[in-house]
Structure 1
Amino acid sequence: MELWNYRPDVYDRSQPLDLAGYHVRAADGRIGTVDEATYETGESYLVVDTGPWIFGKKVMLPASAITQIDPGEREVHVSRTKQEIKDAPEFDEGTFKEPEYRTRLADYYGRFTV
């Protein structure tokens, strides 16, 4: 499973999708809302605004972390716990699209089994 791709059982690439504004639920509870989502093959991710959960910070999650998308509830479920997400490399608006940041994030999230 490629870290930066949506799982085929979660998202059908032939269908349009806009996850912005969806609530994000970690394995152990809600963590925020989707601020930005990308859908490019091999480069897909979510940027999640955590609101008050971790003091208004944003976090970036690779698309493969998504286990379910519920359009009716406007909710995205991810396979990581709140603590695992909180412990990820810090999100930086200025560098999150840089290869170095993505490599650090891939090293971190790649440690977990799907």
Structure 2
Amino acid sequence: MSTVNVLESDIISWVKKIRLNNFTINVQGTTEKGDGYTGEIVFVSVNGDTNENKKRVLNLVIKHGKSNDHLRKTMPIRKAFEIEMHIYDKVMPAFKKFQEEKGIFRRFR
């Protein structure tokens, strides 16, 4: 794995949740230093086998909060991430459905 500001063991633990067997992880890159104030993004490619022994390749974007104790005490990082997940899980699908129902030609993405 290339050098990133997150532990290799953390990336492995997150990828294990996908339930692939015999997987390998290749870090493709990260955000530039200073890009993310409260979090960092790591781009990874995961190669592994499913439980049905089929080959699977996943290209993932992993966003994680910075581990600086001072920053975590002064910024509501967890709350910000929860709000962001809500936007992607609920708000964006509602926008998409609304635009489809109204026949919007130039859609918000």
TM, length-normalised to structure 2: 0.33
Q: Which structure has more RCO (C-alpha within 8 Å, separation ≥ 6)?
A: 1
Point out the structure with max Rg over C-alpha: 2
TM, length-normalised to structure 1: 0.31
